[in-house]
């Protein structure tokens, strides 16, 4: 028999939702004593709670039968919805669980070509192995990429960051030095580079904006020196490819230089001056700080750079 009942608005502040846990236990155990034990209540306390539950729901809910307690029609109608309600509530308050093997969707990282080149191969290998249905997207760079994180256009950003908004988190990735690269058969670098020769050569300078002083120019200026920058480009990969086909030289982070030298005919040379080290970091917004999928992606990045 199916009964349709008109519902009316109820003030939840007058409802003791904990009593629904007792009803769920009664529906399963069909015994006040056993239901109380399931909830850690004595038999008298469970009986008093049942009285309040009957008053709250306006029905006896359970009555004595030949085989113990039996649900009333109202009780039968409520058993399924109450069990689902409590399961949903447990899901809301339980810690979120992330299973990379079954995860779908996309992780977006904002990074310029220097850091993308360093982390992408290792990161993709981990995604293919552990999270094959999760895709990775490198966002179009936007300055220092802080705005992309603020707007939610990227999940993570990699780079060199100064002051960050208070809602941001930062984790340093590594500290890197600079080296110089030239083509392997360059006639002027066979014996290494002294400062005078270094300054006198034709340089490619990489600046994200395509203009302005680099860390090398700042270091030279403290010595009262300047170099001849024959070409400025916004990408390290383009600069390295041009160096491989010319007599120009390029100063770049050592980790990237070693990676590029495996694929291009380049030789690494010690830099004949002190340049402030590079300290890239990973940043993210507070709203993702405790998200398990986000935390997994962050840990993958940390593990990748630690192995480079």
CB of 202 closer than 8 Å to CB of 248: yes
Residue-wise pLDDT for 214-245, tens only, equals: 789 989 999 999 999 999 988 899 999 999 99
Q: Would you give the distance in Å from CA 251 to the centre of its chain?
A: 31
Complete DSSP assignment for 185-245: T-TT-TT---HHHHHHSEEEEE-TTS-S--HHHHHHHHTT---EEEEEES-HHHHHHHHHT
Higher-confidence residue of 28 and 107: namely 107
Q: Which residues contact 182 (CB under 8 A, 6 or more apart)?
A: 188, 189, 243, 247, 249, 250, 266, 267, 269
For the full predicted model, state whether its pTM sits above 0.75. Answer: no
How many CB atoms neighbour CB 139 within 10 A?
Answer: 17
Name which of 245, 97, 110, 105 is nearest 181 in CA terms: 245
Q: In residues, how long is the chain?
A: 308
Residue 181's pLDDT is what? 96
Please state the separation of Cα 9 from the chain's center in Å.
Answer: 42
State whether residue 136 is helix, strand or coil. strand
For residue 176, the 8-state DSSP code is: B
Using 50, 70 and 90 to split pLDDT, how confident is the model at 9? low
283-299, pLDDT tens digit by residue? 999 988 988 899 999 99
All structural domains of the chain: 12-93 (1.10.10.10), 105-174+282-306 (3.40.190.10), 178-269 (3.40.190.10)
231: CB partners within 8 A, 6+ apart: 203, 204, 205, 239, 242, 248
């Amino acid at each position: 028999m199916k009964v349709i009942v008109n519902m009316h608005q109820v003030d939840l502040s007058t409802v003791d939702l904990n009593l629904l846990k007792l009803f769920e236990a009664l529906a399963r155990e069909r015994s006040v004593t056993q239901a109380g034990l399931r909830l850690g209540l004595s038999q008298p306390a469970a009986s008093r709670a049942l009285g309040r539950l009957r008053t709250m729901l306006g029905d006896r809910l359970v009555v004595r039968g030949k085989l113990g307690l039996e649900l009333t029609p109202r009780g039968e109608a409520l058993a399924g919805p109450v069990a689902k309600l409590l399961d949903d509530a447990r899901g809301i308050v339980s810690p979120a669980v992330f299973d990379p093997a079954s995860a779908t969707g996309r992780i977006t990282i904002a990074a310029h070509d220097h850091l993308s080149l360093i982390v992408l191969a290792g990161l993709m290998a981990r995604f293919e192995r552990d999270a094959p249905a999760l895709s990775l997207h490198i966002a179009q760079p936007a300055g220092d990429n802080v705005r992309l994180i603020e707007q939610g256009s990227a999940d993570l950003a990699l780079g060199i960051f100064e002051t960050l908004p208070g809602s941001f988190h930062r984790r340093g990735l590594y500290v890197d030095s600079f080296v110089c690269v030239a083509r392997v058969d360059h006639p002027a670098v066979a014996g290494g580079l002294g400062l005078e020769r270094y300054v006198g050569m034709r340089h490619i300078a990489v600046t994200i904006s395509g203009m302005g002083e680099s860390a090398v120019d700042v270091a030279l200026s403290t010595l009262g020196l300047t170099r001849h920058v024959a070409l400025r480009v916004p990408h390290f990969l383009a600069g390295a490819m041009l160096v491989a086909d010319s007599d120009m030289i390029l100063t770049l982070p050592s980790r990237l230089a070693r990676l590029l030298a495996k694929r291009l005919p380049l030789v690494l040379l010690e830099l004949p001056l002190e340049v402030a080290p590079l300290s890239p970091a990973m940043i993210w917004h507070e709203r993702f700080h405790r998200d398990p999928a986000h935390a997994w992606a962050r840990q993958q990045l940390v593990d990748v750079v630690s192995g480079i």
